[in-house]
Chain A
Amino acid sequence: MAIQHPLKWCLFVSLVLFSTAGCKWGSIGYNTGFKPTQPLPFSHKLHAGDNKIPCLYCHTQVESAKHSAIPALNTCMNCHQMVAIDKPAIKQLQEKYFNGETIEWVKVHMLPDFVKFNHRAHVHRFSQPEDRFVACQKCHGDVKQMDVIEQINSLSMGWCMDCHRQSQPQGPQNCSTCHN
């Protein structure tokens, strides 16, 4: 590689630095095991596990739309106007709610922009009438046991395709099934 111009050296060095910094914001590898601390210590174990609140109580639109959507604060307040209002986290929640603010949750299950995942289709395919959790669990793991949500599966294309090929009947396997 012929590098003569001093500016090009600068670029080279900065690219190396940039890519090193990429360990923090970088780009390669799947996010398996990603378990970020959330702004409020919301526990799925407590809500879905111990108290047996169905997934769809909060993630209401998962059956009708592509996104499962994080519940709006008014959903939390259905209970937390009464329940556990002495806990500091709930006080914080209430304050946010009554101030008209929102909470910036850290996204755990991330797909690139060129992948279009449809919750509606998957939930309908896999949920059973008595227990819809079966469907959720397939990708999100045993959420009922998680205090802090963690990415269990790689969410890589190979991982998706394994399921699309192995399940009976098979899932669609066109490129445009996920990419458009």
Chain B
Amino acid sequence: MEIKTDYWKSLDEKYQTPEFLQTLENEFLSSPLKSEDGKDGLARRQFMKLMGASVALTAAACVRRPVQKIIPYNKRPGDLIVGLPNYYASAYFDGTEGISVRIKTREGRPLFVAGLNDNPLNGRGLSARASAHLLSLYDPDRVQKPTINSINPKNRKDSISVGATWEKLDTRVVAKLKEGGVGILTTSNPSPASQELLHKFTVAVGGSRYTWDPLPTDSVRKAQQLSYGTDLVPAYHFDKAAYIVSIDGDFLGTYLTPVKFTNDFAKARNPDGNMARLVSFHSIPSLTTLNADDNYPIRASHQLAVACSLLKAVAKAKDGSISEAVSANALSDEQLGLNSGTIDYVAKNLVSHAGQGIVISGGMVTESANSVALQVVINSLNSLLGNEGKTITTQGAARWRNGSSQDLLELVKDIESGKVTTLIVHDINPMYAFPAEFKFSEVVQKLKGLITTTNWIDETATLADVIAPCGHPMENWNEYEFATGLKTIQQPTIRPINDTRSFEDSLIAWAKAFGKPITSSENYHDHLKADVVKALGSEKNWFDYLQSGSRGSVSSGSGRSFNSSAYSALKDAKKSGNDIELVLYPKAALLDGALANVSWLQELPDPVTKTVWDNYLTVSPQFAKEKHLKMGSMVEIEVSGQKLNVPVYVMPGQNSHVVGLAVGYGRTKGMNLAKNIGVNAYTLAKVDNEGVRYSGLPVKVQKIMGTYELAITQGHNSMEGRQIIAESSLKNYKEGTDPVHRHKVFSIWDKHKYDGNKWGMAIDLNTCTGCSACMVACYSENNIPVVGKKYVLQGREMHWIRIDRYYKGDESAPDAVFQPVMCQHCENAPCETVCPVLATVHSDEGLNDMVYNRCVGTRYCSNNCPYKVRRFNWFYYDSHYRREPLEMALNPDVTVRTRGVMEKCTFCVQRIKDAKSIAKVENRPLQDGEIKTACQEACPTGVIVFGDLNDKESAVSKMFEAQRQYTLLEEVNAAPRVRYMAKIRNTDRIMSSPHHEDHTEKHSNGHANKEEHT
């Protein structure tokens, strides 16, 4: 059977390979029992027989349940009511972005992290990481107490550490400090108070500081310094932009402040108002690429050439002169591998949107030998177009990003020369994240003392003398200034679970014991508070500050003019690339790998590749063809002698000269969950005089024996070529063409009647960027089990909400659409009619209720669900959480499901009930927007809207009436409660009409296929 469709989820589907067609025949990846399932113990059925018989023999006489205890407080805290949540405004810093969050706690333990609404820092919503860092608080692998290792100093190698007290540890540290030669290695620190203490400490002990970020911004700052004389990372205002060009600047996924950018970007993407266009030139397809209206794959070594060519074309159009250095680096469309006229076309658009455009580039993917030159040309472009000062400003710029790979080179030099003999490491794991070329494992032997503040006995900690665990951000005080002028408080929401002490408190204690105190306050909290109270005038203001979460506002900026002497950076620009170029990139979920031990993030499908629990070498389909590679083929890659064996992922839309490998994987120590997942790509980075290079590395790719199974969630749950995605071009939409092919449906059922509420959800595909924050929020709110790679391969993942990624068009540069799919709460729900035990039934508010305690696990409902959103607990997946202290992350308002039970999205019914009960007690009607589902709270762009359809004024009712609305599989007439808004693409390319020409054929195919299963 062959299915024709415009959209495809995988290359296998596009080409209808035999493997793909076979998965279609199966529909469900998982058979009820796999042969190996029975091997570890008795098979399930045998067990049930025995259990049934023995229970029947003895149960009749039993009456009592297990005795449970209630343990009241000794003194109940005044602000605590058992069973009612408390909320705290706080902040989360993930290594590149600061996010204002609202942390929900119950009985003193954090349970859920949501974005702080309408906060001045990033508006609303959060990232998958910000949601997931809750789980790292309860990580069982964290260091339990201060630890000293006595054996290490003589010969640094892995050895067993011994727990100590803070007093003993401080004595040990101070003895080291007194020996002199202190070096302090940290990442960029967005906290001014912490910076100040660190500075004072460094001066007090006569040490030297080294700052380095695994996610680099050095070249951006260097180029800003050259171009404008200001050392900062400017603020980008995507909400004011009409035309955005990204040259490998993944601002929606990993570069600078993705949540804020996503927020702003969505504001500029209103098809009924101002609709910006996003154009992406990329070496590695990223979230930004997949959201682009037009995308052009390029080589990593051509990033500079594209920028120069654009600048040349823009200058020509503006009739301005152009520097010789720029035109020397420009290339023709053919040389760039683009269709002829592409650069002129983009340049023309840039010129016509002068002052409303943004050209952005940066991040790990652009850190090549040309990175400073690239940034200079980008600056020049933005200045020439008048974007500088309008869409790109110094107002709200980040001045704290001061990590530099130069520091790293110096550090290695200083250790080798003996200038640094004791190294204090905070927030970095050098043994893991440093390039192998540094040979840091040898350098570190020269140290007399190595002190780390890590929370895990990780790659560095195993070599350290002293481990002074700094605890989790949710346990510590801090204050950040992410955007100059705007300060954000991070307040603890739990007492430290382990015997940990924040880095700042350690500094204060060590300086005091050293004899040169750096603050008059007892601890960091008092220090911070004294500072803030002094600045705000009174203690009351301090408490108001804790309530609101932020103070101040972004400082004003001034316009800047481009200094053409900056072109000197182009002098040594490397013009030729390598035949095959390796690009190291951070993944949107795991980023630099600091949260690698969080199962939610490991099992979160990567937004682009939809792969879980692994990293892999991404190659273009053409490259794969040439080298006879398939998805999962093993290859050996070699970068100047460094070799790694990795599986291959065939990535549509990637340049055939580029291969990519994600960082953040390949942990070897400390993190038990992340251990031995993937390979450590950091080791491949190259070092030259200027710094660390991650992009355009010369690489040899060699196919080796063997294949590897990649757990890709996208191939599952095929929707068989029906109209799942509706999309249209902006032009067609403005002309009034309906983006959706509507069906006539009729029903033999009586319609349900709803007297009270009638819940519904609307999802706007136009602003969904696929960031996946909603998926993690759903994990957190609904106690969703993590199943691990083995079971994802069998299609047993448990996400209640999934984000489907559809490609369309040619595999070399396809368009993509993201679509969140959860239980559609159908009016004529097919699952309800087939359940033999009435475990899934319709509620009088239109919800499709799932009753776990009634479910006997026939899975008929899942078989009959057209949307494939029901998840079955095949095993005791909940056992993942049944470890201390991980179980504290479970939401007590939601039942923990176990083996043999079907589950699915409930529209967060616990939140609905709670809000309704409060409104009733307060004797008032429920307000629209009062109930927010977990996914809705997490979304930075407001894609998901939930509300009452009986209230004609509610936001969701209005969206149900919109021109763009459509339901999934309308022709099936399950009448879903979830409506989607069609995607609008702002492109000049001609897009096919939504009316399928081969409509009837598809239908017959669909039905034929369905019959095979029934």
Contacts and interface: CB of A to CB of B under 8 A. Distances in A.
A69 B71 contact: no
Contacts, number: 173
Main secondary structure of the interface of B (DSSP, over half): loop
A79 interface: no
A27 B62 contact: yes
A164 B61 CA distance: 31
Question: Considering the complex of A and B, which 5 residue pairs feature the smallest CB-CB distances, nearest first?
Answer: A26-B62, A72-B76, A15-B54, A72-B73, A174-B843
B849 interface: yes
Contacts of A63: 921
Given A8-B42, A180-B910, A73 B851 contact: no
Contacts of A105: 69-72
B81 interface: yes
Interface stretch (B265-273, B476-484, B893-901, B996-1004): B893-901
B852 interface: yes
Contact of B74 (A11, A29, A102): A102
A107 B82 contact: no
5 contacts: A18-B54, A73-B74, A104-B70, A110-B68, A121-B920
Contacts of A106: 67-70
Interface string B911-927: 00100010011000000
A38 B896 CA distance: 30
A29 B60 CA distance: 9
A97 interface: yes
Contacts of B42: 8, 11
Interface stretch (B45-53, B336-344, B428-436, B676-684): B45-53
Interface residues of A, number: 62
Contacts of B841: 175
Interface of A: 1, 3, 8, 11-12, 15-16, 18-20, 22-31, 34, 36, 61, 63-67, 69-75, 96-97, 100-107, 110, 112-114, 116, 118, 120-121, 124, 172-177, 179-180
Contacts of B54: 12, 15-16, 18-19
A65 B75 contact: no
A20 B54 CA distance: 9
From A22, A75, A172, A177, residue with most partner B Cβ within 10 Å: A22
Nearest to A22: B62
Given A27-B62, A27-B65, A105-B72, A19 B852 contact: no
A36 B67 CA distance: 9
A95 B851 CA distance: 46
A101 B75 CA distance: 10
Contact of B84 (A18, A64, A103, A114): A64
Given A176-B843, A176-B906, A107 B68 contact: yes
Nearest to A5: B42
B101 interface: no
Contacts of A11: 42, 50
A175 B81 CA distance: 27
Contact of A174 (B847, B854, B896, B910): B847
Contact of A12 (B50, B68, B76, B84): B50
B921 A124 contact: yes
Contact of A15 (B50, B82, B84, B910): B50
Nearest to B894: A180
Q: Which of B62, B68, B76, B921 has the most CB of A within 10 A?
A: B62
Contacts of B62: 19, 22-23, 26-29
Interface in B837-878: 841, 843-845, 847, 849-854
A42 to B, nearest CB: 12
A66 B921 CA distance: 12
A172 B920 CA distance: 13
A47 B841 CA distance: 45
B71 A104 contact: yes
Interface in B225-256: none
Contacts of A65: 81-84
A69 B72 contact: yes
A40 B497 CA distance: 32
A13 B82 CA distance: 43
Nearest to B895: A114
Contacts of B909: 176, 180
Nearest to A177: B913
